[in-house]
Structure 1
């Protein structure tokens, strides 16, 4: 009764109360857990409080009636560690206390990337200046052949470079910076870990995803361009030379980020009747490079998960395996999936092209399975584009887009390695009028058996006033109750 009373009062107005009485709300969480992403700027400008606590309380109170399990929030590195070793987690604690009071949970994203310049970005949070300035000076930011530099995140070539300042001024590696940040977060949230905080998503690249920043809207990229290889920073070139003997990536790789696969010598498909093994991406320098480029990314992912495990040990955090999971976000690069080169994925570091057995998603799933054994807790494979269909290319046949086929490939990889799969929608949609999106996500959820391949959860973009209107809550509640 108290829950219904609070819900009616939060909505306000007799007419709205009458509308609610006709609805199915409140509903309980379903078998497939549903979370909602917070706004990008949910933290105050200094990170020490919620930006608008009253609004958030109102929205979360309403959201709970639709049966969601909780919210996902970015814990921005650039905001919460303004000086080396000086952490501002006051806003995180305030959120955790509020969620605990309301009976909701938090998927906490360790956001070691900048906010701004990507699809859906409505706020700007750069990397911490003390890290960004050093990386610029040392050539440890991802760079294209033409010299375009991405400030989305540090290059993975910075992982073991002992150059970043610490609290006492002594240098540390990028991996040590990430571990220190996660350990400080775990220590600050204390008893909320494994209860209110149910998941740590470990940021591993641009947009928090395990990939290279191969396509950047802020630099003129347009869909369905394949993007660029980002391996020309000093650090990546040193790694490439040491591990392959190559001085630089092959010239046959993309020079124009909006090019299509058959415009690019390395990615051009074989002529009909020709031997596919003779194509650029399956032979010679391109094959060697693409396999190295992908393997370097996989190593980075493994190392980041190791840092998360070490951070928990340092903070003396021992929640039960069921109480806290790790997760890794993998980008749904669905365009040019039906081209033999899988060029978009290859530029981002996902190798599905250099041999018949090349399957980046199997490699990632194996990485997560191996890391879960070390961490002694599940590591979730979090994949985007769950609302998209193979007909979602907007009438652009040159996109060669197949998101449903891609999700099926990811699903098989997760089943084969016994890794839990969760998903997100790629683009925001209006809950009240987009039944098609809910139907497609429900199709993806229900295509799983109730066994080990049962889908773990769905996280929806993005909490705001439109999300908690009566008709939106009703649509969300129906989706939750069916799954």
Structure 2
């Protein structure tokens, strides 16, 4: 028996051998051809063949539904392929029911709560153990699915290279498991500055020591300020750290994590979120807290010697060596507005000149390549585990309602009038079979001053539309403390996107704000009411996830596009 799912925009890849020659809705796929469909086949039930427009969301629904009936199941992630081993016709029937109904077996949006960033202290001990334990039990009693555990590189490998200490996190995972909750492990390869009485968590001390001798390992702005909470993406493959490159250090950390938590992965630990940059987001640190003030455009972070060397080489390859000396000379500073420099001016700004197009394309491409390297690395290491791989995209919403989208440009997203700057990033997530997490589900356009030309809802919608295009699942989270019913209402509206019912609901939602204040009587009442309402529209799904008729199947079955990666899930 086999269940085969071909997902997303197609490109020529070989079909699994067991599919070739089998008739599907009147078409016979051959090697090198593609079919955007779902096929269910069984030797004992050969008539059980169903086709459906493909999406990773469907694969997640199938996987979750099947795993409800099988606590442990062989699972493999092979590049962009996901493989589930079935248990026979019973599994086939479960999958078939999901496809035919167009709904998961339960109309429930998985709900997670993020633990405080300092749950594990900088000295690698568990903070407020009894309070955390009581909080976990309260969340379980409410019906919450699990929690997000931030795992800080600077704590785990803080003392010396390859010397890992997971003891506090092991204790924490055991507490979470005992409470009956699941874990999303957020792997933080960045630092966190001192905020609101919370201690700072930096990069490993030995990494910072390397930075004392070579400060160019850090992102650098135009005047030479270094951002020391994150390594420059230009050093990803450079062996500057005791003979290892940043990618090798991340790989070693992932492998050690996988080995240490092998008893929990797939059962308690169900997702690994890859830290991709500042605050875990895939972006440049263009608006650091201690330098930037809203709604400033931020600054380009391309002035460490490794980024400049890359820029110089790229300019020479393009035949414009004069463009490779530095970033834009007429860009505003951190706190300035777009009109305060020539580069971002809507009409006649250099952003729309040949030089501007050259620079912005290069700047964004470096960020895209970094995200691809990180996610593909995680996918390869956890390919045999029952975990979801994910990463976070930022929602840079100020100056969105201008032609140049200045704040997005300095952050690394070449999203301007007439050009979709998120499409390639979402396609990259699809290539790596990774989930996208989006913040700011608690913010609306009305929450910002009109002069800042903000539109968080438009950014969210643009990214979710691209995710729909490539079949990438999307999770959401709030960004600010929610202490009033209006904030919860905004989350409900953004989660279910009531004004755009053609988009699918989120794969899960993460609530940020677990702490003493959450459990005060008034805040807890609001939170409980919010949690009980979040499933209200959980049965609303994308129309494209519903079974399609033969005519629709014939119209979208095959594609020869070479520009998109195909996703596949095989259950055999």
TM-score for the superposition, normalised by structure 1:
0.83
CA contact (8 A) 1:132 1:154 kept: no
1:16 match? none
**Partner SS, residue 325 of structure 2:** coil
Please tell me whether the aligned partners of residues 67 and 477 of structure 1 are also in contact (alpha carbons under 8 angstroms).
no
Deviation at 1:452, TM superposition (A): 7.7
Rounded Cα–Cα distance in structure 1 between residues aligned with 2:447 and 2:240: 45
Alpha-carbon contact 2:497-2:503 (below 8 Å) kept: no
What is the deviation of 1:117? 5.1
Residue 113 of structure 2 aligns to a residue whose secondary structure is strand
- Is 1:142 the counterpart of 2:219 in the alignment? yes
Deviation at 1:451, TM superposition (A): 8.7
Structure-to-structure mapping, 1:30-429, within 5 angstroms: 31-47=108-124, 49-82=125-158, 83-116=160-193, 122-138=198-214, 139-165=216-242, 171-219=243-291, 221-245=292-316, 246-254=324-332, 256-270=333-347, 279-312=349-382, 318-320=384-386, 324-353=387-416, 356=418, 358-372=419-433, 379-393=434-448, 396-429=449-482
Q: Which one scores higher on RCO, CA 8 angstroms, separation ≥ 6?
A: 2
Structure 1 residues 257 and 45 mapped into 2: Cα distance closer, same or farther (>3 Å)?
A: closer
SS at match of 1:160: coil
What residue in structure 2 maps to residue 481 of structure 1? 532
Shift of 1:121: 7.9
Structure 2 unaligned regions, length at least 5: 1-105, 317-323, 536-572
Distance 1:257 1:44, change over 3 A: closer
Distance 2:132 2:238 in 1: 40
Q: Secondary structure at the match of 2:493?
A: helix
Contact 2:482–2:488 (Cα < 8 Å) also in 1: no
CA contact (8 A) 1:209 1:329 kept: yes
Deviations 1:227-255 (A, max 9, x none): 0101000111011111223121121223x
CA contact (8 A) 1:338 1:402 kept: yes
Greater share of helix = 1
Deviations 1:274-311 (A, max 9, x none): xxxx5411222222111100000000000001221233
Kindly indicate whether the alpha-carbon contact (under 8 Å) linking 1:117 and 1:217 is maintained by their aligned counterparts in 2. no
Moved more, 74-83 or 63-72: 63-72
Does the aligned pair in 1 maintain the 2:217–2:232 contact within 8 Å?
Answer: yes
Going from structure 1 to structure 2, the CA distance change for 1:64 and 1:470 (only over 3 Å counts) comes to farther
**Contact 1:268/1:279 (CA < 8 Å) preserved in 2?**
yes
State the secondary structure of the residue aligned to 2:401: coil
Distance in structure 2 (CA, Å) of the matches to 1:369 and 1:463: 31
How many residues align? The count is: 419
How far apart, in 2, do the equivalents of 1:452 and 1:312 lie?
29
Q: Distance between the aligned counterparts of 1:383 and 1:111, measured in 2?
A: 16
Secondary structure, aligned partner of 1:190: coil
Partner Cα separation in structure 2 for residue 263 and residue 327 of structure 1: 38
CA RMSD of aligned residues (A): 1.9
TM-score, normalized by length of structure 2? 0.70
Q: 1:465 aligns with which of 512, 516, 522?
A: 516
Partner of 1:375: none
Partner of 1:445: 495
Gaps of 5+ in 1: 1-28, 166-170, 271-277, 373-378
Q: 1:450 to 1:420 in 2, by over 3 A?
A: farther
CA contact (8 A) 1:240 1:247 kept: yes
**Residues in 1 aligned to 2:495 and 2:420: alpha-carbon distance in whole angstroms:** 23
- Determine the structure 2 residue equivalent to 1:23: none
Q: Tell me, in whole angstroms, the C-alpha distance in 1 between the residues paired with 2:511 and 2:452.
A: 25
1:447 shift after superposition? 2.4
Change (3 A) 1:136 1:419: farther
Cα pair 1:418 1:453 within 8 Å, conserved: no
Distance 1:363 1:131 in 2: 32
Distance 1:121 1:32 in 2: 33
